Structure 1
Amino acid sequence: MSLDMTLNGARVLTPEGWDSCAVPVSGGLIADCAVGRAVDLSGYDLLPGLVDAHGDGFERHMAPRRGALRERDAGMLAVAAELAACGITTAVIAQFWSWEGGLRGPDFAREVFESVDVMRGSVPVDMRLQLRLETHFLDEFAAAEAAIARFGIRYVVFNDHLPHARLAEGRKPPRLTGQALKSRRNPEDYFRLLLDLHARGPEVGPAVEALCARLVAQGVTLGSHDDQTEADRSVWRARGARVSEFPETLEAAQAARDGGDFTVLGAPNVVRGASHAGNASAQDLIAAGLCDALASDYHYPSPARAAWRCVELGLLDVAGAWALVSSGPARLLGLTDRGVIAPGQRADLVVMERDSRRIVATLAGGQVAWMSGPVAGRFVG
């Protein structure tokens, strides 16, 4: 149930910077005048709820030990709690539809999509879906498109994880045996599968372009993953994919900016100070003005930490840094009703301890999604 209340005394982050304004909440939205009971948040900071444009940290909850346990709905419920504890009020659950099998295969994808479908309306956090489609998985395009329609998926990203250079030479890629066993396949059968998928390269372009055209006509947001060159970005832009997720080079990120596309970078990259895969540093790209959104990627606590890291490093001021985890990703997703604290917007709010920057309460759509510690007394007292 959405609460009617007026939050007073907090330092409030607006697009222009810190303010001392009261924040009324009514009917799940931020109101334009005082309503309900007053809640004194003196000494705390109040910031817009985080919008996470890409995260797959849910896997550890739904499949905590490979082959031993599957926790579908209970796992997704735990995901919602973790998201709220990390201040994330809108979360894009990024799930593969891939030849890689296991947690990246279509069967697991359907479990993820169904569990999010079940959770909708029963948890305050707004959980949305992204389908990550492998470009060479041609025989599964029709099934993927059916899943997009069935589950109302509004964000599709294209990946290509085939080791083409090795396959073109007829050589087995590194770690093939482990990957095969992880997907419960015989290593030799797995190698033959990779060779067959690689050989279908000439079919990929036309098939992808046809699918993109159909999805764009339906208003689905499209993106590409791991762009490396200006040419990569140009190809995907021509197909209607206007989001560049985790570009691997400065060249690709600059091409996205020059073409008016959105760029998503990994928050863990910012926190660590470098890409774990040796790609372009997110800190450097942010300093160059080449980032629209920071995403959790594989670690839900990272977006809030990354925003503050940008401030500590002098890359951005507080309003600019927080925009990368709130209004920026909201715009990317076409969500005009969230991302800033302003009348008429969704009451997606994060209450934070000023000194420790620890998130102590999260409101999503005006509902309490997470609360911990002494701040609870301010709301119930």
Structure 2
Amino acid sequence: MSLEITLSGARFLRPDGWDDAPLPLAGGQFVDAPAGRAIDLSGFDVLPGIIDVHGDGFERHMAPRRGALRERDAGMVAVAAELAANGITTAVLAQFWSWEGGLRGPEFAREVFDSVRLMQDSVPIDLRLQMRLETHMLDDLDAAEALIAEHGIRYVVFNDHLPHARLAEGRKPPRLTGQALKSKRNPEDYFKFLLDLHARGPEVGPAMEALTARLAAQGVTMGSHDDHSAEDRALWRARRAQVSEFPETLEAAQAAREAGDFIVLGAPNVVRGASHAGNVSAQDLIGAGLCDALASDYHYPSPARAAWRCFELGLLDEADAWHLVSAGPAQLLGLQDRGRFAPGCRADLVVMEPQTRRIVATLAGGRVAWMSGDVAQRFV
């Protein structure tokens, strides 16, 4: 049940900065007149709910013991709880459709997509789907496209993680045996499979151009992952993919900005101060104005922490920093009804302790998704 309340006494983060104007909500939305019971949140900060445009932290809940235990529906409930505890009210679950198999293979993708469909109405968090499609999965493109349509997936990102340099030399990639065994395949058969995928490289371009044209006609948002150069970004922009996820270099990010593309960076990169893979620092890109949204990537606590890190480092003021995890991602996803406090917008918000910046309550669509500690007394 969505609450009908008016929040007051707190600092409220609006696009122009903090103010103390009361925040009423009813029917799952923010409204323009006092509503229901008044709740005094003096001493707390209230901010728009976080919109996570790309995260795969759900894997550890749905497959907590690789190869031994799968928790589909119960796992998705646990995912929603972790999201809420970290202030994420809209979450795009980034699921691979990859030759790697296992948690990145088509079989697991179907489990994830089915689970979201079954559990969406049971949790207040808005769970959405992204397909991360490996470009060389040519024999599986029809199945992938059918699944996109079946589940109404509105965000598709294209990856190419094949180790082409090694395969071109006929050499086995590092960690091949481990990857093969994780996906329950014979290592030699797996190596031959990768060689065959690599050999079909000339077919990939025409296949991607045809697929992206069909998806664009359906209004699907598309992006490329790990752009390394301006040429990479130009190639995918020509294919109507206007999001650059986690560009690896300053050159690629600048090319995206100059063309008006969206740029998504990893929040863990900001928190760590550097890319774990040795790519360009997200802090440097943000300082250069080359970021539209921060994503959890693999760690759901990171978006909130990264936003504050941007402020602490003097890269952005508080409103602009929080914009990267709220209104910015909403714009990327075409969601005009969230990411800010405005009448008619979905009532998504987080309540935070200003001293510790610990999230103590999360409301999603006006429903309590997370609450902990003394703040509960204010609501009860």
Same fold (TM over 0.5): yes
- Displacement after TM superposition at 1:243 (Å): 0.3
- Corresponding residue for residue 276 of structure 1: 276
Structure 1 residue 183, shift from structure 2 partner: 1.1
Question: Shift in Å at residue 196 of structure 1?
Answer: 0.2
What's 2:375 paired with? Answer: 375
The equivalent of 2:242 in structure 1 is 242
Would you identify which runs of 4 or more consecutive aligned residues in structure 1 move more than 2 Å?
Answer: none
Q: Which residue of 1 aligns with 2:66?
A: 66
- Residues of 1 paired with 2:191 and 2:16: CA distance? 55
Cα distance in 2 between the residues matched to 1:323 and 1:35: 27
Structure 2 residue 87 is matched with structure 1 residue 90? no
Question: For residues 125 and 232 of structure 2, what CA distance do their matches in structure 1 show?
Answer: 34
Secondary structure of 1:6's aligned partner:
strand
SS state at 1:121 partner: helix
Shift of 1:344: 1.5
Residues in 1 aligned to 2:328 and 2:72: alpha-carbon distance in whole angstroms? 31
| Corresponding letter in the other structure for 1:47 | L
Match of residue 175 from structure 1: 175
* 1:343 shift after superposition: 1.5
Partner of 1:294: 294
Name the structure 2 match of 1:338. 338
**What do residues 30-71 of structure 1 show as CA deviations (whole Å, max 9, x unaligned)?**
110101000000000000000000000000000001111000
CA distances 1:159-185 after superposition (whole Å, capped 9, x unpaired)? 000000111111111111111111111
Match of 2:150 in 1: 150
Alignment-mate amino acid for residue 375 of structure 1: V
| TM-superposed deviation, 1:119 | 1.2
State the SS of the aligned residue for 2:357: coil
What CA deviation, in whole Å up to 9, does each residue of 1:315-364 have, x standing for no partner? 00000000000000000000000001122211100000010000000000
SS at match of 1:252: helix
Letter in 1 for 2:154: R
Q: CA deviation at 1:284?
A: 0.2
Deviation string 1:214-268 (CA, Å, 9 cap, x unpaired) is 0000000000000000000001001000000000000000000001000000000
Which position in structure 1 is the counterpart of 2:255?
A: 255
Q: Which residue of 2 aligns with 1:358?
A: 358
What residue identity is the alignment partner of 1:240?
Answer: R
**What are the within-5 Å matches in structure 2 for residues 84-233 of structure 1?**
84-233=84-233
How many Å apart are 1:114 and its aligned residue? 0.3
- How far 1:104 moved relative to its partner? 0.4
Residue aligning to 2:26:
26
Whether the 8 Å CA contact 2:84–2:125 is kept in 1: the answer is yes
Matched AA of 2:265: L
What secondary structure, in the 3-state scheme, does the structure 2 residue paired with 1:228 have? coil
Unaligned runs of 5+ in 1: none
Aligned to 1:315: 315
**Offset of 1:273 from its aligned partner?**
0.3
d(CA) in 1 for partners of 2:121, 2:260: 35
SS at match of 2:177: helix
Aligned-residue offset at 1:26: 0.6
Matched, 1:77 2:77: yes
Partner of 1:347: 347
Find the aligned partners of 2:256 and 2:226 in 1 and give their Cα distance.
12
Partner secondary structure for residue 290 of structure 1: coil
In the alignment, the residues of structure 1 paired with residue 187 and residue 121 of structure 2 have an alpha-carbon distance, to the nearest angstrom, of 43
Counterpart secondary structure, 1:99? coil
How many pairs align?
380
